[in-house]
């Protein structure tokens, strides 16, 4: 990676000795905070499995808009299972990395977004959710 300050799209096709992933059920309005929604998540553990990791590496300076670091999802080779990656042990694989020097954020144009309270610090909640 040429710089820690850039965004990267990541893909890894490989064989994994262990993957722990989670999936949060579909939520209905009024939407709960993510930290509350994950309390009903399903956690899956895969051993000796082939599949694909996809995700992004986000720079530290965008904290507050996005979670810094790697955000990866896994799907099995037969596309039957997967989720947000919590832990991983890789045996071997092939990786692809796309350097992305642009970041575009489009805000919703709805009354729900206009009226929600967004001034709270959610850093502690995000750290809990990402672990």
Within 24-81, strands assigned E span 42-58, 69-76
Q: Is residue 131 part of a domain?
A: no
Residues 6 or more apart whose Cβ sits within 8 Å of residue 101 = 6, 7
- In CATH, what number is assigned to the domain containing residue 54? 3.30.1330.80
Model pLDDT, residue 69: 94
18-64 confidence digits (pLDDT tens): 999 999 999 998 888 888 888 889 999 999 999 999 999 999 999 87
Q: Is residue 65 part of a domain?
A: yes
Number of domains the chain contains: 1
Please report, for residues 12, 128, 129, the alpha-carbon distance to residue 41 in angstroms, rounded to integers and kept in the order given.
25, 13, 11
Domain range for residue 81? 7-126
Q: Is residue 49 part of a domain?
A: yes
Q: Is residue 2 part of a domain?
A: no
Q: Is 126's pLDDT higher than 70?
A: no
């Amino acid at each position: 990676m040429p710089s820690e300050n850039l965004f990267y799209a990541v893909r890894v096709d490989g064989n994994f000795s262990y993957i722990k992933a989670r999936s949060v059920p579909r939520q209905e309005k009024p939407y709960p905070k993510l930290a509350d929604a994950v309390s009903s998540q399903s956690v899956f553990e895969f051993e000796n499995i082939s599949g694909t990791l996809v995700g992004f590496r986000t720079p530290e300076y965008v904290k507050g808009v996005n979670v810094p670091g790697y955000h990866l999802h896994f799907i099995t080779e037969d596309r039957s299972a997967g989720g947000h990656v919590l832990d991983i042990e890789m045996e071997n694989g092939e990786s692809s990395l796309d350097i992305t020097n642009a970041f575009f954020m489009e805000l919703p144009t709805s009354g729900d977004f206009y009226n929600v309270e967004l001034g709270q610090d959610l850093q502690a909640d995000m750290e809990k959710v990402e672990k």
